[in-house]
Amino acid sequence: MAQWVDACAADAVGNEDVIRFDHAGRTFAVYRSPEDKYYATDGLCTHEKVHLCDGLVMDNIIECPKHNGRFDYKTGQARGAPCIINLKTYPTKVEGGRVFIDIA
């Protein structure tokens, strides 16, 4: 069953950028793609639990700020060492200018 949570205003996330969202003791990362679509993943790198919101976003890749590991934020797939464990991804939707994440 879906559990939609209001994460942020849609305009709070710049084009090709990421922001942090914390909810119920968990950290998420919310992304806005060049195609103006929104995506969400776990907010911590699977390598050393560093916040991805401080990383660099280019195309559909988030680069961890600590060791430069990379993930495809659309699929969660680890795309560069030292990251070998994929990120969990979450469905998103935009309603009334707000981004919602299904955290179920």
pLDDT at site 13: 97
Q: What percent of the chain has pLDDT over 90?
A: 92
Question: What are the pLDDT digits (tens) for 64-96?
Answer: 999 999 999 999 999 989 999 999 999 999 999
CB 61 within 8 A of CB 71: yes
Domain definitions of the chain by residue range: 4-102
Could you tell me the pTM of the whole model?
0.94
For the domain 4-102, what is the CATH code? 2.102.10.10
pLDDT at site 80: 87
Question: What are the pLDDT digits (tens) for 24-46?
Answer: 999 999 999 999 999 999 999 99
d(CA 40, CA 53): 11
pLDDT at site 9: 98
pLDDT at site 99: 98
Give the CA distances from residue 5 to residues 60, 64, 85, 93, 103, in Å, rounded to whole numbers and listed in that order. Answer: 23, 25, 25, 10, 7
